[in-house]
């Protein structure tokens, strides 16, 4: 098959672009080298929807951050994705910090960020009682929020697939050639031919662009390490708490998550290996020291897991979203570091404007479905809602993950969706089974049983994350 458009990379940016394109009568494929969507930066970041005050005025980051923030509420509602507009603080410990906050405020005004205010120490303490006594003031941006980044990615990709986009997983790009007016993509899943290519390959977007013949930018990986705390620490703060930013990023933050945990981090370390997501004792110690500086009452005994994510920092210092000047038909969507998650909905709009300026026919579908199939989250329901759901499907009455109150019905549902889960981590990202305090100690064998049963495969074939990551190797008797 010859596709009109191939999107390379099924992170949050690529998946939301796919959703935008699914509104039109086009043959579109979304290609991902991993076994599932949201396997890179989109599953390991701060999960913050930034207000938009810290991007340089006039930059793409500034423009698309503010617009993406505006769009996020509606998109989250359409896709059944958790999103909370809780606001953020950038706190100051001395007068130099206050001057930096005033600069951020001025940036925010130029970027059209609404309702910002610089607060006194007393006003900060009134809103955040656990704030350090050393804080002398803060910039308050009430439009900031928190979202689940991998669930947003999954939902966007699922909605795109439901509207006709073809998702091809385990599809690494080996080479790209332009033959006449079409691209021939040599992949691990065979040859794919496409009239246009949208390069949303995250950390590897410079490699993909170079394969196609455009080496105009480079991506430098920047590692950030995080700590996630148990839900009993989730009410320590009410808002996203930032320290003044540096040239390396927005610093160590303390934030609640949409699921009620507390998240600390990240560090910021320039590295060379685009696959290095290891954590270090030095990095995690830096996270703890930074978090306690802001919120002294944070109890790191409640840490339940640590992880690291990589940011795609571009050599041009801004998002790279443009028609290639060297290769006709190639659109690069690269360098999508922070505030990339916040900007992602607006990036998809921006890419559509680029496509409209090119020689491509865009005819809207009459049967486009803007909403995702409902997701039932048993843990969020009241007793009457739970009773009704169990009457419809008794599997929702069987709790599989005790820490997160995840039912068998939720797990079965996620396996049989249009982008179904086929391994433990895929179930975990979709349902939170295994994300609680025991980190899967109780529910893992039960989830393995369900996956094997629903996919009609031996338990020994169930993997943690695809590939050779087997959970079981055989029977002892």
Task: Examine the residue annotation and report whether 50 is marked as an active-site residue of this protein.
Answer: yes
Measured distance CA(213)–CA(304) in Å, rounded: 45
Residues with Cβ within 8 Å of 460's Cβ and at least 6 positions away in sequence, in order, are: 470, 472, 473, 474
Taking a C-beta distance cutoff of 8 angstroms, is the pair 292, 269 a contact? no
Q: For 36-148, where are the alpha helices, taking DSSP H only?
A: 60-79, 95-110, 121-127
Measured distance CA(370)–CA(304) in Å, rounded: 36
Q: Residue 339, preceding bond cis, omega within 30 degrees? A: yes
SS3 track for 137-164? EEEEECCCEEECHHHHHHHHHHHHHHCC
Q: Is 355 helix (H, G, I), strand (E, B) or coil?
A: helix
Q: Is 64 helix (H, G, I), strand (E, B) or coil?
A: helix
Cα 367 to Cα 15, 23, 162, distances in angstroms: 20, 9, 11
| Inter-residue long-range contacts of 240-243, CB under 8 Å, 24+ positions, other chains counted | 240/48, 240/86, 240/87, 240/88, 240/89, 240/144, 240/146, 241/88, 241/89, 241/91, 241/128, 241/131, 241/294, 241/295, 242/88, 242/89, 242/90, 242/91, 243/90, 243/91, 243/93, 243/290, 243/293, 243/294
For 356-448, list the strands marked E by DSSP: 399-401, 406-407
Taking a C-beta distance cutoff of 8 angstroms, is the pair 265, 257 a contact? no
pLDDT of residue 159: 98
Measured distance CA(293)–CA(141) in Å, rounded: 21
Taking a C-beta distance cutoff of 8 angstroms, is the pair 37, 11 a contact? yes
Cα 150 to Cα 16, 235, 394, 406, 432, distances in angstroms: 12, 23, 28, 18, 11
Q: Could you tell me the sign of the dihedral formed by the alpha carbons of 159, 162, 164, 170, in that order?
A: positive
Measured distance CA(76)–CA(85) in Å, rounded: 11
Helical (H) or strand (E) element with 207: helix 205-212
Measured distance CA(28)–CA(197) in Å, rounded: 10
Q: For 295-443, where are the alpha helices, taking DSSP H only?
A: 340-356, 383-392, 408-415, 424-431
Cα 453 to Cα 1, 406, 448, 456, 460, distances in angstroms: 34, 18, 9, 5, 12
Taking a C-beta distance cutoff of 8 angstroms, is the pair 351, 197 a contact? no
Measured distance CA(284)–CA(263) in Å, rounded: 12
Spans of the chain, pLDDT less than 70: 248
Taking a C-beta distance cutoff of 8 angstroms, is the pair 87, 242 a contact? no
Q: Residue 266, preceding bond cis, omega within 30 degrees? A: yes
Catalytic residue among 19, 23, 33, 50: 50
Q: Is 57 helix (H, G, I), strand (E, B) or coil?
A: coil
Q: Which domains does the chain have, with CATH numbers?
A: 1-84+145-218+315-374 (3.50.50.60), 85-144+220-314 (3.30.9.10), 378-461 (1.10.10.1100)
Measured distance CA(382)–CA(389) in Å, rounded: 11
């Amino acid at each position: 098959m010859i596709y009109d458009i191939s999107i390379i990379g099924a992170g949050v940016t690529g998946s939301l672009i796919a959703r935008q394109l699914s509104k039109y009568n086009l043959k579109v494929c979304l290609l991902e080298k991993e076994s599932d969507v949201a396997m890179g930066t989109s599953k390991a970041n701060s999960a913050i929807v930034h207000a938009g005050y810290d991007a340089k005025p006039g930059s793409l980051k500034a423009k698309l951050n503010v617009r993406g923030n505006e769009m996020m509420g509606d998109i989250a509602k359409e896709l059944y994705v958790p999103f909370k507009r809780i606001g953020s603080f950038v706190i100051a410990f001395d007068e130099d910090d206050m001057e930096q906050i005033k600069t951020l405020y001025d940036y925010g005004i130029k970027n059209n960020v609404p309702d910002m205010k610089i607060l006194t120490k007393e006003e900060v303490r009134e809103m955040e009682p656990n704030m350090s006594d050393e804080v002398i003031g803060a910039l308050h941006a009430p439009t900031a929020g928190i979202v689940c980044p991998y669930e947003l990615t999954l939902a966007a990709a699922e909605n795109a697939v439901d509207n006709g986009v073809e998702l091809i997983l385990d599809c690494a790009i080996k080479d790209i050639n332009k033959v006449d007016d079409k691209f021939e993509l040599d992949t691990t899943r065979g040859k794919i031919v496409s009239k246009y290519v949208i390069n949303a390959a995250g950390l590897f977007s410079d490699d993909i662009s170079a394969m196609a013949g455009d080496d105009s930018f480079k991506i430098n990986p920047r590692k950030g390490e995080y700590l996630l705390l148990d839900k009993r620490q989730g009410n320590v703060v009410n808002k996203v708490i930032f320290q003044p930013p540096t040239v390396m990023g927005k610093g160590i933050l303390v934030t609640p998550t949409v699921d009620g945990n507390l998240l600390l981090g990240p560090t910021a370390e320039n590295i060379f290996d685009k696959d290095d997501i290891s954590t270090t004792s030095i990095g995690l110690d830096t996270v703890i020291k930074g978090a306690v500086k802001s919120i002294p009452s944070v109890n790191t005994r409640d840490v339940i897991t640590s992880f690291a994510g990589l940011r795609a920092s571009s050599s041009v210092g801004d998002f790279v979203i443009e028609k290639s000047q060297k290769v006709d038909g190639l659109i690069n969507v690269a360098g999508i570091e922070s505030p990339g998650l916040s900007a992602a909905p607006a990036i998809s709009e921006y890419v559509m404007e680029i496509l409209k300026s090119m020689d491509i026919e865009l005819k809207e579908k009459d049967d486009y479905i803007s909403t995702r199939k409902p997701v039932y989250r048993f843990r969020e329901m009241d007793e009457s809602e739970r009773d009704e759901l169990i009457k419809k499907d008794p599997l929702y009455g069987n709790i599989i993950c005790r820490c997160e109150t995840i039912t068998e019905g939720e797990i079965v549902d996620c396996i049989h969706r249009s982008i179904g889960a086929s391994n433990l981590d895929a179930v975990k990202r979709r349902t939170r089974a295994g994300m609680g305090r025991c980190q899967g100690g109780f529910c893992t064998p039960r989830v393995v049983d369900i996956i094997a049963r629903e996919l009609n495969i031996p338990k020994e074939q169930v993997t943690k994350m695809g590939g050779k990551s087997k959970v079981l190797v055989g029977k002892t008797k």
